[in-house]
């Protein structure tokens, strides 16, 4: 082959590779979890629309933005449903407050998105405030009625972590390796200084009693004293901890991006058992009402695990990568898979698929 | 297909990504500096190949008159022409495909670096999530410095440079490198092709620069500059002047971030005169002496071969 021809082939391959992994948003994307209402569930679809689906059948009741309007840029954070209002964090940097009944828009913040950056984490709602972190490094609190900003706090890095509100305190981590405790009322830091981990923090903090527990990219799970921010214990895993820990009041369950699920004692962080999912875990697990743990991974298999001994109770293969957090009403687990399909699978009692819908073409799958 | 993916990850992508993160951790956590050092390391590793290639290009250039003679003699008999050409290469100790080595190495580096940049400097959460599986668990520091800071000078290395500055620098450095490493071409058609290539490739790469994350064009630019330095030490600045000849006497031999490519130059009308020209214009006296000796030996061999042919 002549060198010039070879070079052209090389360039072609390069361009092809660039095209295959294009960074531009040709379409929408995301991994939003599913918010569960009494008879409706809300999916942040990868098509860039929030869908209200019948919890029993999966049929669509409403969409935001409505069909015919441009979709949102992407949806990563799980919507929060509080008092008939659905708060949706958009990857375009806006927070949308929608009427849960018909997904009509109540307000959006801000009006001008040129002033903000993308939101990857979810929102937390309490005391008439909706709190969220942004890629511009700010944690902001909006009035739930008006959508106006009540306060904002600049962290030391990008915030992709979903804030956790407990006892009038907002706990939130940043990619700048720090965990902050802020006053819900005014955003003032409450600890003498933020806790500094060895790696980035995307994990949403779990507040269990007087402990704040979260994972970090430095392969550690930390438990801090909620009042002072001092470290109580830590546990080292084999890879990043991305998702939010889950607790049954005795144990903490947390998995790594190498796919190893650890059960740790809440009091001391000692490992009780581990279970290997064989694929990266980005999706947060959920505790079912029978106190078993539902967890899934990039491998597309949903595992039901005994919290007592880590034994595998059952599996359900949905055949697609899952990175959105799992949600549950106690008996049924709701899954927003990366192949644009939303699932409702009953895991308590008789295991069965309730429905599966393609969020793109709305066909039953 | 899975095995290819596994090999790609284990042999190229994972070492590259972990190496880049390690460099980042030890170079003041500046990804621009990381890419510059990475480029220097890659160029050092491939230096033997590059030197071989540049020298091979030079040798090929010297063979052009003899190749032209073969062309004239066996032009209608392609099999014989090919046979004689290969014999000529063998006699001169030249491998016509030798110049491909550095280019073959560059290709996976480009693709690997592009993928690494998109993962290490993520614009979307998915890109960062993908990275988790590629970092070595036994190397704690690579996990701790993620995510990396993408700012370098005026650039955000994760996205294309919005100004034309980097594109101009990439195009210019590539043009200079090609210009410097271009051997003489006598055939007007070849001159025309070479002149087109001299401009087309820098323009193409400048165009790519506009649309690719600026970390990759930064690699190209630094690689070109290193290529210019190497070329300077091997052939000097002779190829660079004049910058814009009215009748281009040079043709590009180096393309694609400093990797030389031989072009099939045609000789001046008389091969003897071509040798005389080369001897008279190139290099120092010592080189000329060697080349003159070689030319005399080559002419003697040809005369002998010619008398054999006539004898038949």
Nearest chain B Cα distance for residue A16, angstroms: 10
Q: Is residue A104 part of a domain?
A: yes
- Is A229 part of a structural domain of the chain? no
In B, which residues are within 8 Å of A200 by CB distance? 146-147
Residue B252 has pLDDT above 70, yes or no: no
Is B241 a residue whose pLDDT tops 80?
Answer: no
CB contact under 8 A, A3 and B99: yes
Whether A3 shows a pLDDT value over 70: the answer reads no
**Taking CB atoms and an 8 Å limit, are B143 and A10 in contact across chains?**
no
Does B63 map to a domain? yes
Q: Which domain holds residue A41?
A: 29-119
The residue that leads in pLDDT, A26 or B59, is B59
Residue B11 lies in a domain: yes
Q: What is the DSSP string of B222-248?
A: HHHHHHHHHHHHHHTTGGG-SSS-SS-
Tally of domains in chain A = 2
Alpha-carbon distance of A81 to B110, in angstroms, equals: 46
Distance CA B122, CA B133 (A): 14
* C-beta atoms of A280 and B197 within 8 A: no
Measured CA to CA in angstroms, residue B78 lies from A279, B12, B306 at distances of 58, 41, 19
Range from A224-233, B5-14, B275-284 carrying the lowest mean pLDDT: B275-284
Is residue A285 one of the residues assigned to a domain?
no
Q: What is the pLDDT of residue B279?
A: 38
In degrees, rounded to 5, the angle at the alpha carbon of residue A203 between the alpha carbons of residues A202 and A204 is 115
Structure tokens at B127: 């890109």
Q: Inter-chain contact B103–A219, Cβ cutoff 8 Å?
A: no
Beta-carbon separation of A6 and B100 below 8 A: yes
Q: What is the pLDDT of residues A103-153, one digit of tens each?
A: 999 999 998 888 888 999 999 999 999 999 999 999 999 999 999 999 999
Residue range B263-280, pLDDT digits in tens: 343 333 344 433 433 433
User: Do the strands A206-208 and A195-196 form a parallel or antiparallel pair, or are they unpaired?
Assistant: unpaired
What pLDDT score does A8 carry?
59
Q: Which of A147, A179, A206 is the last residue of a domain?
A: A206
pLDDT tens-digit readout, B131-182: 888 888 888 888 889 889 899 999 999 999 999 999 999 999 999 988 887 6
Peptide bond into A65 cis (omega under 30): yes
Q: What would the mean pLDDT of B184-201 be, rounded to a whole number?
A: 70
The residues pairing with A141 across neighbouring beta strands, listed in sequence order, are A131, A151
User: Does B132 contact A240 at a Cβ distance shorter than 8 Å?
Assistant: yes
**Beta carbons of A7 and B256 less than 8 Å apart:** yes
Chain A environment of B146 (Cβ under 8 Å):
199-200, 217
From A119, A134, A156, the end of a domain falls on A119
CATH code (residue A134)? 2.40.128.630
Q: What is the structure's pLDDT at A4?
A: 59
CB–CB contact B137 A258 (8 Å): yes
The answer to whether position B250 is within a domain reads: yes
Instruction: Give the mean pLDDT of B2-11.
Output: 83
pLDDT at residue B268 in the model: 38
Give a yes or no: residue B311 inside a domain. Answer: no
Q: Would you state the pLDDT for residue A9?
A: 58
Q: Which of B143, B213, B255 sits opposite A219 (nearest CB)?
A: B143
For residues B280 and A3, give the distance between their C-alpha atoms in angstroms, rounded to a whole number.
30
How many C-beta neighbours within 10 Å does residue A111 have? 9
Same domain, A98 and A139: no
Q: What is the average per-residue pLDDT within A287-298? A: 95
Chain B: nearest CA to A240, how far in angstroms?
A: 7
The predicted structure's pLDDT at residue A7: 62
Token pair in block for residue B160: 């294309």
To the nearest whole angstrom, how far is the Cα of A109 from the nearest Cα of chain B?
21
CB atoms within 10 A of CB A291: 11
A210 CB neighbour count, 10 Å cutoff: 13
- Residue A329, in any domain of the structure: no
Do A6 and B103 lie within an 8 Å CB cutoff? yes
Q: Is the pLDDT of residue B202 over 50?
A: yes
Report the range out of A329-338, B57-66, B84-93 with the highest average pLDDT: A329-338
Q: Which of B29, B128, B177, B263 to mutate to test the interface with A (most CBs of A within 10 A)?
A: B128
CB contacts of B100 in chain A (<8 Å) are 1, 3, 6
Nearest residue of B to residue A198, measured between CA atoms: B144
Assess whether A78 and A145 both reside in one domain: no
| Minimal-distance CA residue of chain B relative to A242 | B129
Interval A158-173 mean pLDDT: 97
In a domain, B139, yes or no: yes
Radius of gyration (Cα) for chain A, nearest Å?
21
Q: Say if residue B111's pLDDT is above 50.
A: yes
Number of domains in chain B: 1
Nearest CA in chain A to B212: A18
pLDDT given for residue A35 in this prediction: 97
Contacts of residue A1 in chain B, CB cutoff 8 Å? 100
- Which candidate in A1, A4, A222 is best for mutational testing of the B interface (most B CBs within 10 A)? A4
Provide, as residue numbers in chain B, all residues whose Cβ is less than 8 Å from the Cβ of A3.
99-100, 103, 255, 261-262
Predicted local distance difference test score (pLDDT) of residue B216: 93
Over range A38-42, report the average pLDDT.
95
- ω before B147 within 30° of 0 (cis)? yes
Question: Per the domain annotation, does A236 fall within a domain?
Answer: no
Asked whether the predicted pLDDT for residue B304 surpasses 80, the reply is: no
Q: B197: which chain A residues are within 8 Å (Cβ-Cβ)?
A: 4
Nearest to B111 among A7, A17, A257 (CB): A17
Q: How confident is the model at residue A52 (pLDDT cuts 50, 70, 90)?
A: very high
Residue B111 lies in a domain: yes
Same domain as A146, residue A112: no
Q: What percent of chain B is modeled with pLDDT above 70?
A: 70
Nearest CA in chain B to A177: B144
| Structural domain harbouring B23 | 2-260
Chain A residues touching B125 at Cβ < 8 A: 31, 76, 120, 160
Q: Do A31 and B133 touch (CB under 8 A)?
A: no
Split at pLDDT 50, 70, 90, the class of A197 is very high
The phi, psi pair for B192, rounded to 5°, reads -65, -45
pLDDT of residue B246: 54
The confidence score (pLDDT) of residue B239 equals: 67
The residue with tokens 């930064």 is B218
Indicate whether B295 belongs to any domain.
no
Confirm whether B77 is domain-assigned.
yes
- Structure confidence at residue A16 (pLDDT): 46
Are A70 and A46 found together in one domain?
yes
Instruction: Give pLDDT, residue B59.
Output: 76
Residue A243 distance to chain B (closest CA, Å)? 11
Q: Which pLDDT tens digit goes with each residue over A66-88?
A: 989 999 999 999 999 999 999 99
* Closest Cβ opposite residue A198 in set B104, B123, B144: B144
Banded model confidence at residue A28, pLDDT cuts 50, 70, 90: low
Window from A345-349, B128-132, B186-190 with minimum mean pLDDT:
B186-190
pLDDT at A180 over 90: yes
Domain's final residue, options A85, A119, A153:
A119
């Amino acid at each position: 082959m002549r060198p010039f021809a070879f070079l052209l082939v090389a360039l072609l391959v390069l361009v092809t590779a660039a095209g295959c992994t294009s960074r531009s948003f040709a379409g929408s994307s995301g991994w939003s979890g599913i918010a569960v209402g009494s008879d409706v569930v809300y999916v942040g679809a990868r098509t860039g629309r929030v869908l209200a689906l019948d919890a029993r059948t999966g049929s669509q009741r409403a969409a935001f933005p409505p069909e015919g309007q441009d979709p949102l840029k992407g949806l990563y954070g799980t919507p929060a449903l509080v008092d008939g209002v659905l708060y949706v964090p958009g990857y375009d940097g806006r927070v949308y407050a929608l009427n849960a009944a018909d997904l009509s828009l109540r307000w959006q913040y801000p009006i001008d998105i040129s002033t903000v950056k993308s939101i990857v984490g979810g929102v937390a709602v309490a005391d008439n405030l909706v709190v969220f972190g942004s890629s511009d490094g700010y944690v902001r609190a909006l009035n739930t009625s008006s959508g106006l900003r009540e306060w904002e706090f600049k962290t030391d890095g990008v915030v992709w972590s979903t804030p956790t509100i407990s006892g009038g305190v907002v706990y939130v981590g940043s990619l700048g390796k720090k965990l902050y405790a802020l006053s819900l009322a005014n955003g003032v830091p409450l600890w003498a200084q933020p806790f500094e981990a060895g790696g980035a923090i995307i994990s949403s903090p779990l507040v269990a009693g007087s402990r704040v527990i979260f994972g970090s990219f430095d392969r550690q799970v930390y438990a801090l004293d909620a009042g002072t921010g001092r470290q109580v214990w830590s546990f080292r895993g084999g890879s990043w901890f991305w998702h939010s820990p889950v607790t049954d009041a005795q144990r903490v369950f947390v998995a790594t991006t190498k796919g190893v699920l650890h059960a740790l004692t809440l009091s001391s962080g000692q490992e009780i058992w581990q279970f290997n999912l064989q694929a990266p875990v980005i999706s947060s697990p959920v505790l079912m009402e029978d106190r078993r743990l539902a967890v899934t991974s990039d491998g597309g298999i949903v595992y039901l695990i005994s919290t007592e001994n880590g034994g595998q109770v059952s599996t359900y293969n949905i055949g697609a990568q899952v990175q959105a957090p799992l949600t549950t009403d106690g008996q049924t687990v709701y899954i927003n898979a990366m192949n644009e399909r939303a699932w409702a699978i009953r895991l308590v009692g008789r295991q069965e698929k309730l429905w599966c819908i393609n969020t793109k073409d709305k066909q039953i799958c | 297909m899975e095995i290819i993916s596994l090999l790609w990850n284990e042999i190229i992508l994972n070492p590259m990504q972990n190496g880049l993160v390690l460099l980042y951790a030890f170079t003041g956590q500046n990804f621009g500096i990381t890419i510059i050092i990475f480029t220097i390391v890659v160029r050092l590793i491939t230096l033997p190949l590059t030197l071989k290639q540049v020298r091979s290009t030079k040798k090929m250039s010297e063979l052009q008159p003899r190749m032209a003679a073969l062309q004239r003699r066996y032009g209608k008999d392609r099999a014989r022409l090919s046979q004689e050409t290969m014999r000529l290469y063998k006699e001169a100790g030249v491998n016509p495909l030798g110049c491909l080595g550095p280019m073959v190495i560059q290709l996976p580096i480009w693709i690997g670096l592009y993928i690494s940049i998109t993962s290490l400097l993520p614009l979307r959460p998915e890109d960062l999530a993908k990275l988790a599986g590629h970092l070595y668990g036994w190397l704690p520091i690579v996990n701790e410095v993620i995510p990396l800071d993408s700012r370098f000078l005026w650039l955000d290395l994760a996205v294309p440079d919005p100004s034309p500055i980097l594109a101009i620098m990439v195009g210019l450095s590539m043009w200079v490198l090609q210009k410097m490493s271009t051997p003489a071409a006598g055939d007007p058609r070849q001159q025309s092709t070479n002149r087109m290539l001299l401009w087309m490739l820098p323009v193409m790469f400048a165009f790519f620069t506009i649309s690719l994350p600026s970390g990759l064009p930064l690699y190209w630019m630094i690689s070109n500059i290193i290529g210019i330095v190497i070329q300077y030490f091997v052939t000097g600045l002779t190829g660079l002047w004049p910058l814009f000849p009215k009748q281009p006497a040079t043709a590009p031999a180096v393309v694609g971030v400093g990797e030389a490519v031989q072009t099939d130059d045609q000789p001046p009308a008389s091969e003897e005169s071509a040798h005389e020209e080369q001897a008279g214009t190139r290099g120092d006296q010592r080189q000329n002496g060697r080349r003159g000796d070689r030319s005399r030996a080559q002419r003697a061999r040809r005369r002998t071969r010619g008398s054999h042919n006539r004898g038949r």
